[in-house]
Chain A
Amino acid sequence: MIVYLMCFILFLTGMYGVLSQRNLIKIVIGLSVMEISIFLFMALIGYIDAGVAPIVTQTGEQLIYVDPLPQAMVLTAIVIGLATNAMLLAIAIRLYKKYKTFDVRKINQLKG
């Protein structure tokens, strides 16, 4: 149980980072931390004690496999996370070029 709680604490740490930091890059890092905590959590869901990697072999012996579905989900989610991060960083460096700063308090053209 404690490992699941650790995942949740990591998630909250990331969320704190997103909400409290003023630097664009640090906000992106916060989002990544949240993301990775969920990946960890999902990989843990599929874990079974003494299970082996779910690869079918020819020998035909009855092994206990860990659940492969959460692993597939995590892999897909990592790909999506890569796209999100690339997009965020691309926007962040373009913002830096326009405003000459990473500080969110100074990037405030839109209001109301």
Chain B
Amino acid sequence: MESFLPLYMVTPLAAAFLIPLVGRVFSAFARTITPLVFLLLLILGIHYLLSGISSPLTYEVGGWQPVNGIPIAIYLVLDGFSTILLITINLIAFLAAFYSISYMKKYTAENNYYTLFCLMVAGMNGVVLTGDLFNLYVFLEIAAISSYALVAFGVEKTELEASFKYQVLGGMASLLILLAIGLLYWATSTLNITDISHILMIQGDNKIILFIQILLITGFGLKAAMVPFHAWLPDAHSSAPSPISAMLSGILIKAIGVYVLFRLLFNMFTLTYEIALTITVLAVLSMVIGGILAIGQQDYKRLLAYSSISQVGYILLAMGIGMMVLAQNGAKEIAALAILGGLFHLINHAVFKGLMFMNAGAVEHATGIRDLAKLGGLAKWLPLTSATSFTGSMAISGIPPFSGFFSKLIIIIAAIQANYYLLAFLAALVSIITLAYFLKLQKNIFYATFPEHIERVRKIPFTMKCSMVMLAILCLAMSLLIIPGIRDIVLIPAVEVLID
């Protein structure tokens, strides 16, 4: 079982470097192989999920056995938390690659696009699977550098500017993370995450550990676009080609930001109240400020990008509540409920934000316009896009029976049970703000009067429609995760990994 884990890195990498070779001869090679690779990995992930992971699977690369109990190989670890992340990554990657088949026809250098796409997914899979800090940094940089290139893929003024901004801030974040890893190695003389957690447990409280935690929060906070560090996100995510925006907003900020941060804070460091409070404050700031800034946006994709900041705030808020309860030795059930809500919202957000960016891509493909003031009345011309956009908007603003409702409900209930009434109130308030700006979006694009300056509305090709419909169905189907039988298989193992 565990010997198939390296496939998650090997197959996308092999595909990435076969494309420039074979793609020269057969032009359709890149388009076919990319979705197929992700489909294969998705099926493998679902297989892992269904076979039930009671204890984490570990895999030693190179077959190096531990010497005197000290691990020397690079470990790959698969547990409940990484499984659901892997499935989400490869699901969205598969649908985005399938969507790209028609969408990317208008760009030149398609082969380069698919190569970078495969590299980005290989990096994210690596980040999620690795159990070694330095290996984590390497994969994080693979994912980040390919995403810098993908943001600049259009090579127009705005794309280049967004990419440069993203690179400077992303580069600073990577260096802070590298500094933190160096300091950790200095303090503990090992890079293995489980090993470090044992050593830190023995060492106890330490000023240097606090400094490392702050460095890590800043670094991964920059990668995850928490509010004081969010300046790059609206530019980068709105300038990229639409399937890439779906990947960046849906997956990348979670896989290399939120996932790693919580993996390290929960499983490597001992939880402290100060750090939990910091995370919660940053979460509330992201949630509220992201939501308020989104209202005023006039650009379709920029609005969605700001909404991403706000929704990631929800995930962080749930995790922060869980950490605060655990750090104060509160009831474990409440912490479990909060973390469950956070994880559920993480998956949901990947699905509906992916869908919304694909809708934006469809509208842009049909009319060539992204400015909300210049669009309108498209429901008659693009009925399917209008329907999927409606589904996505309802799901993201938390209207029952769509998936977003349940995850937000769980977060709010957890906040009330933990006696954080203000946080619960803010979460509900931001949900209303979210509904407001998505209704504005829906009205301006699909229902207002059809403007005269749009000469023709192009048809949406089949593969784009197909991806959008599948994600819209998932928006509804994800609500099923709340049913106890399914929840026990999917979400509970992940929650248990974080709580212990």
Contacts and interface: CB of A to CB of B under 8 A. Distances in A.
Max chain A Cβ within 10 angstroms of own Cβ: one of B149, B164, B167, B172: B164
A45 interface: yes
Given A31-B171, A84-B171, A88-B171, A107 B161 contact: yes
Contacts of A80: 138, 141, 145
A18 B167 contact: no
Contacts of A24: 164
B479 to A, nearest CB: 35
A92 B165 CA distance: 11
A110 B235 contact: yes
Nearest to B190: A69
A11 B179 contact: yes
Given A91-B152, A94-B155, A110-B235, A73 B160 contact: no
Contact of A99 (B157, B182, B185): B157
B164 A88 contact: yes
Nearest to A70: B185
B179 A18 contact: no
Given A69-B185, A76-B134, A87-B149, A95 B167 contact: no
A109 B179 contact: no
B220 interface: no
A48 to B, nearest CB: 12
In this complex, the interface size class of chain A, counting residues with CB under 8 Å from chain B, is 20 to 34
A105 interface: no
B162 interface: yes
A108 B165 CA distance: 11
Contacts of B186: 45
Interface in B156-176: 156-158, 160-165, 167-168, 171-172, 174-175
In this complex, the interface size class of chain B, counting residues with CB under 8 Å from chain A, is 35 or more
A34 B175 contact: yes
Contacts of B239: 110
Contacts of A11: 175, 179
B42 to A, nearest CB: 28
Given A73-B134, A76-B138, A87-B149, A41 B182 contact: yes
B157 A45 contact: no
Contact of A84 (B138, B167, B182, B191): B167
A66 interface: no
Secondary structure class of chain A's binding surface, majority of residues: helix
Nearest to B172: A18
Contact of B182 (A18, A45, A88): A45
Contacts of B171: 31, 84, 88
A109 B172 contact: no
Interface in A61-112: 69-70, 73, 76-77, 80, 83-84, 87-88, 91-92, 94-95, 98-99, 107-110, 112
Nearest to B152: A91
A109 B168 CA distance: 17
Contact of B157 (A35, A73, A98, A112): A98
A18 B161 contact: no
B437 interface: no
Contacts of B160: 91, 94-95, 98
B175 A35 contact: yes
B163 A38 contact: no
Contacts of B156: 98
Contacts of A76: 134, 138
Interface in A41-71: 41-42, 45, 69-70
Given A94-B160, A109-B158, A45 B185 contact: yes
A46 B79 CA distance: 32
B303 to A, nearest CB: 11
B214 to A, nearest CB: 14
B178 interface: yes
Contacts of B172: 15, 18, 31, 34
Nearest to A15: B172
Contact of B168 (A18, A38, A73, A99): A18
A41 B450 CA distance: 61
B161 A95 contact: yes
Contacts of A87: 145, 148-149, 167
B182 A110 contact: no
B297 interface: yes
B168 A27 contact: yes
B500 to A, nearest CB: 29
A77 B178 contact: yes
Contacts of B157: 98-99, 109
A78 to B, nearest CB: 11
Contact of A112 (B138, B175, B178, B297): B297
A69 B193 CA distance: 16
Interface in B127-156: 134, 137-138, 141, 145, 148-149, 152, 155-156
Nearest to A92: B164
Interface string B226-245: 00000000110001000000
Contact of B191 (A69, A94, A108): A69
16 contacts: A18-B172, A31-B168, A38-B182, A41-B179, A41-B182, A69-B191, A70-B182, A77-B178, A84-B167, A84-B171, A91-B148, A91-B163, A91-B167, A110-B161, A112-B234, A112-B302
Interface of B: 134, 137-138, 141, 145, 148-149, 152, 155-158, 160-165, 167-168, 171-172, 174-175, 178-179, 182, 185-186, 191, 234-235, 239, 296-297, 302
**Interchain residue pairs A-B with the least CB separation, the first 4:** A42-B182, A110-B235, A80-B141, A45-B186
Given A11-B175, A31-B168, 4 more contacts: A18-B172, A27-B168, A87-B148, A91-B160
